[in-house]
Amino acid sequence: MRDQVGQVIATRTVTDGTRPVLIEVGMPTHAMDGIGTSGFRIEGLGEFSATGVDGMAALYNALVEVGAVLARANDKGHEFPVRDPDTMGFPAAPSRERAPRPTADTGGREVIALRILITHGEPCAVEIDRPTRAAAQPYYICRFRIDGRREAIASGLDEVQALLTALRMIGAWLMLPADWPLSRAS
């Protein structure tokens, strides 16, 4: 079987009833035709991929699709804690504390998604870095930059939450719709 996930950039452990289930989200890739792809794996359910107009849209679609896959699994007897649309359907992490997953030292920034937007009639670059564990802390951070502004940091209990927080913060700061990664429009 071909690995659809590739390099894992974010994980979350959720429960199916009482059984822990690992979810892994892969680094978005860009094809020659400009279409982005981001794979994800749900332990016990398989590997999947999502596409978008670029890597940022593919990553966003993968995060949304995780919730859709788990909701369909619930229709078949599973018991995943699927959230409402405000959280893009992605399930909450279990309430019990988990040991932080060590992350590799990348020696600096590792941009995983880039988008050039037109806001207020001007081009604006948005970069999102790979989520990493905060130094000596039990939480994760996701650095991002918006053209003409200093670096900002989103945080979360795991890589997924840090990434989702970064996407929401970018949208809020630029006054974009909640699903802004799906469109190249301003």
Domains of the chain, first to last = 8-87 (3.30.160.20), 111-182 (3.30.160)
The residues pairing with 124 across neighbouring beta strands, listed in sequence order, are: 117
pLDDT at 88: 61
Write out the two tokens for 96: 């019990």
> Which residues lie below 8 Å from residue 72, measured CB to CB, with a gap of 6+?
none
pLDDT score recorded for residue 104: 44
Sign of CA dihedral 84, 85, 89, 92: negative
For residue 61, what is the enclosing H or E element? helix 55-74
Q: What is the mean pLDDT of each run of 10 residues along the chain (186 residues)?
A: 81 91 92 84 95 91 90 91 63 55 56 87 91 91 87 92 92 88 66
Strands 111-119 and 46-52 come out as unpaired
Sign of the dihedral defined by the CA atoms of residues 178, 184, 185, 186, in that order: positive
User: Residue 94: its pLDDT value, please?
Assistant: 62
Contact 23, 94 (CB under 8 A): no
Among 160, 179, 162, 19, smallest CA distance to 86 is for 179
Three-state SS at 173: helix
Whole-number Å distance between alpha carbons of 109 and 111: 6
pLDDT of residue 109: 76
